[in-house]
Structure 1
Amino acid sequence: MAAQKILIIVTNVREYEKAGMRTGLWLGELTHFYDYAEEHGFELDIASPAGGYVPIDPESLAHDVLGELGTDRRYRDRDFMDLLKDTKKASDVKAEDYDAIYFTGGHGVMFDFRDQALAGLTARFHDSGRIVSAVCHGPAGLLEVTLENGDPLLKGKNVTGFSWPEEEAAQRADVVPFSLQDELKSRGGNYTVADQPFDPYVVTDGRLITGQNPASARAVAEAVVAAVKNR
């Protein structure tokens, strides 16, 4: 039996448009998910909207809220980090080769995940009965997805993602291009959050699985692995 496979989507964007601060992939949102899925026998490929190099948000190294889950180990692992040197281009990937798609976060995704090719790929995942998942800012990749029946993917779906209070606490409210919380709601999503900002929180609605913040990445992995195995 062939191994089950997950496609992971990461950003190519390294800086904000309105400020000189660096951004990129929030590394723990990749490693916490990757480690759990790999431990449970999954193969994983990494792709990005443009393909090629993936920058790391420097703050994700200094403020990893789940550091005990091995982000530092992965950061020191040459073979693992080399996976981010030349990623697949998302538009070159076929949904049929995978069981699930997972959108990582980091503020960079707010600038390149609202991509039509990426939206089309995601629609094919969902329309063909596969799992669609995202964490933190990663649900930005769901905003432009229109399904085969003409409905937005998010219409009537229970969903979560990085909240505006968390954005303000992270001191990024003045440099992000939009409020993810508001945009998820505007697409018809039934948006909910944890009782306290930055607490782990995951919402599952059928084949759509979303997590609120960096602390939720491993829990999203747990939900995705269980969903794929129960398909």
Structure 2
Amino acid sequence: MARKNRILIVVTNVPEYRKVGMRTGLWLGELTHFWDVAERAGFEMDIASPAGGTVPLDPESLSHEVLAELGTEQRYRDREFMDLLADTKRISEVGLDDYDAIYLTGGHGVMFDFPQSADLEELMARFYEAGKVVSTVCHGATGLLNVQLSSGEPLIRGKRVTGFSWPEEELANRADAVPYNLQEELAKLGAEYRTADEPFDAYVVEDGRLITGQNPGSAKAVGEAVVRQLAAV
């Protein structure tokens, strides 16, 4: 299988929670930290979303303290880069053969549209069964919940995975706002859920071509793991 040197990044279209009035969307650093790693390694990237078009940003990911982490503010000030979020591809328009890997970002918005996207579920299964790298970070793991392989088995059954933990949800004061417990849902599907020793510590789990990161601070390490696996192909 010829290398394409291209990675597909998937983001949310959802700007708010359903039960409470707080705003949400893409956690910007989960895009930029991964992007920086992959770009330095020579990969090009495209951004897609379930509905296509504009991508909302979680306002908390734009605080001065958060933007200061790992160069996110530099990307936020980059007009050309930020304009990529103004008109994303629709998942249904994406071609499997154009990419070596797929990466699902988080932000709480994905809890609402990733598991509801049949196009995303199908694409994730096709990526995995084609021998490509499948990766997620934080709430991006919600995009794994409804993915079934051609055998009918859930993609994550028997796999080691991680994603935003319930203790982190409580510490973030979102336990009453989220529609479900991601940690619990992953385990219900037969995944072997793993977590860092301390909440919000960077943590990545690799199970073959499936790479998952626990929280926003894990995006850089997910990028490094994806690049490392692709370099070995």
Which TM-score applies when normalising by structure 1?
0.97
Q: Judging changes above 3 Å, is the alpha-carbon distance between structure 1 residues 66 and 200 closer, same or farther for their aligned structure 2 residues?
A: farther
Distance 1:32 1:88 in 2: 21
Q: How does 1:1-150 map to 2 (within 5 A)?
A: 3-62=4-63, 65=66, 67-114=68-115, 115-150=117-152
Indicate the SS of the match to 1:7. strand
| Structure 2 residue identity aligned to 1:130 | K
Shift of 1:65: 5.0
Offset, 1:64: 5.5
The code of the aligned residue for 2:89 comes to K
Measure how far apart 1:67 and its partner are: 2.9
Within 2, Cα distance between the matches of 1:45 and 1:162?
Answer: 24
Q: Is the 8 A contact 1:28 1:64 kept in 2?
A: no
Q: Given that residues 25 and 56 in structure 1 are in contact (C-alpha distance below 8 angstroms), is that contact kept between their aligned partners in structure 2?
A: yes
Residues 1:66 and 1:153: Cα distance change in structure 2 (over 3 Å): farther
What's the CA shift for 1:96? 1.3
Give distance in 2, aligned partners of 1:144 and 1:63: 36
Asked if the contact 1:101/1:133 (under 8 Å) is kept, the reply is: yes
1:187 and 2:196 are equivalent in the alignment: no
Using the alignment, how far apart are the partners of 1:91 and 1:210 within structure 2?
A: 23
Say if 1:8 and 1:44, in contact at 8 Å, map to a contact too.
Answer: yes
Deviations 1:78-107 (A, max 9, x none): 000000000000111011110000000000
Segments of structure 1 that go 5 or more residues without pairing to the other structure are: none
Gaps of at least 5 residues in structure 2 are none
**8 Å Cα contact 1:160-1:212 kept in structure 2:** yes
The CA deviation at 1:153 is 0.4
Distance change >3 Å, CA 6–CA 157, structure 1 → 2: same
**Partners in 2 of 1:133 and 1:2 — Cα distance?**
17
Deviation at 1:148, TM superposition (A): 1.6
Deviations 1:177-196 (A, max 9, x none): 00000111011110010000
SS at match of 2:168: helix
Structure 2 CA distance for aligned equivalents of residues 172 and 197 of structure 1: 14
Equivalent residues, number: 231
- Find the aligned partners of 1:204 and 1:83 in 2 and give their Cα distance: 29
Over the matched positions of the two proteins, sequence identity in percent amounts to 66
Task: Tell me the distance in 2 between the aligned counterparts of 1:93 and 1:199.
Answer: 33
Does structure 2 retain, via aligned residues, the 8 Å contact 1:136–1:213?
A: yes
The two structures, once aligned, show a CA RMSD in angstroms of 1.3
- Name the residue aligned to 2:215: 213
